[in-house]
């Protein structure tokens, strides 16, 4: 089974010239599902969500998504506090914390956005307990926008209760945690073999970011192999990097 892992499209502040190369790369890779770790759009407006939905639907591949902080209003304070997901749910049908059971992997979506803490998010004990309960049979991948640990030198704050989530996920037997938000790829492992995949931004046009990228995750039994797909400097396509075999959960 193969998954394409994406995060931080930021439609509305994205590199439009990379859209077709992204679609071509996904068509060539032929993943069974797309998994998106939030920030579909730059601002939570209906038209931008419609554009993001159309892009994802053009892949012809089933997709699962969780919200990011840019997917709820920033400047519209009443909208953010009273109905933060109104525009998001027009584009993303179903629960904001989806659950997908695939051959060899269960994917648990967690909504880490928090309208009262727009940028940095939070996770609640109820959400942690849900992951713990659903992780009784594995292997399991949790997907959420905000990371449970930061990159070296990172200046952003962790979401509220990140350390509790990290410890609980690890103890529950979670194998993989896919997150976005930082716009920089990295893999962080625990002693027990739980791997957090910090996804790079697939389309965001932020000058200080590394090159845009997404990843392919191949699952064969209990072996997970990750292949980064990095945008070429001329924008002509996404180039596969050497595969990375992820640690096994002990």
Tens of pLDDT along 211-236? 999 999 999 988 999 999 999 988 88
Assign 183 a pLDDT band (cuts: 50, 70, 90).
Answer: very high
Which pLDDT value is given to residue 190? 85
Rounded-to-10 torsion of CA 94, 107, 32, 179: 90
pLDDT for the residue numbered 79: 82
pLDDT of residue 232: 95
Q: Confidence class of residue 189 from pLDDT cuts 50, 70 and 90?
A: confident
- Range 172-187 average pLDDT: 95
For 36, 212, 250, the CA distances from 7, given in Å and listed in that order, are: 5, 10, 27
How many angstroms separate the most distant Cα atoms in the chain? 48
Q: What digits encode the pLDDT tens for the residues 42-74?
A: 999 999 999 999 999 999 999 999 999 999 999
> Is 87 in contact with 49 (CB distance < 8 Å)?
yes
The model carries a pTM of 0.95
Q: Which residues lie across from 214 on neighbouring strands?
A: 229
Three-state SS for 70? Answer: helix
Residues 131-178: tens digit of each pLDDT: 999 998 879 999 999 999 987 777 778 999 999 999 999 999 999 999
Sign of the alpha-carbon torsion through 121, 67, 179, 15: negative
Interhelix angle 46-58/19-29, nearest 10 degrees: 40
Domains of the chain (ranges, CATH numbers) = 2-245 (3.60.21.10)
What pLDDT score does 1 carry?
95
| Cβ proximity of 207 and 10 under 8 Å | no
83-101 per-position pLDDT tens digit? 899 999 999 988 999 999 9
Q: What is the pLDDT of residue 155?
A: 73
Confidence tier at 180 by pLDDT (50, 70, 90): very high
Mean pLDDT of the chain: 94
In this structure, are residues 192 and 249 in contact, taking their beta carbons and an 8 Å threshold? yes
User: What's the pLDDT score for residue 131?
Assistant: 97
Given a contact cutoff of 8 angstroms between Cβ atoms, the answer to whether 213 and 182 are in contact is no
């Amino acid at each position: 089974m193969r998954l394409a892992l994406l995060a931080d499209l930021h439609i509305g502040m994205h590199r439009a010239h990379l859209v077709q190369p992204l679609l071509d790369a996904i068509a060539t890779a032929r993943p069974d599902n797309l998994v998106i770790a939030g920030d579909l759009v730059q601002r939570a407006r209906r038209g931008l969500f419609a554009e993001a939905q159309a892009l994802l639907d053009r892949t012809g591949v089933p997709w699962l998504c969780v919200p990011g902080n840019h997917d709820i209003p920033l400047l519209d304070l009443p909208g953010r506090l009273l109905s933060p997901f109104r525009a998001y749910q027009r584009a993303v049908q179903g629960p904001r914390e989806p659950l997908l059971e695939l051959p060899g992997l269960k994917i648990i979506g967690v909504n880490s956005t928090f309208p009262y803490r727009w940028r940095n998010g939070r996770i609640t004990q109820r959400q942690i307990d849900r992951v713990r309960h659903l992780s009784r049979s594995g292997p399991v991948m949790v997907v959420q926008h905000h990371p449970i640990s930061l990159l070296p030198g990172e200046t952003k704050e962790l979401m509220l209760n990140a350390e509790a989530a990290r410890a609980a996920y690890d103890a529950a037997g979670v194998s993989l945690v896919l997150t976005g938000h930082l716009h920089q790829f990295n893999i962080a492992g625990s002693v027990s073999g739980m791997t957090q995949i910090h996804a790079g931004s697939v389309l965001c046009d932020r000058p200080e970011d590394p090159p845009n990228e997404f990843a392919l995750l191949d699952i064969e039994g209990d072996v997970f192999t990750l292949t980064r797909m990095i945008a070429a400097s001329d924008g002509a396509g996404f180039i596969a990097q050497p595969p990375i075999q992820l640690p096994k959960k002990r």
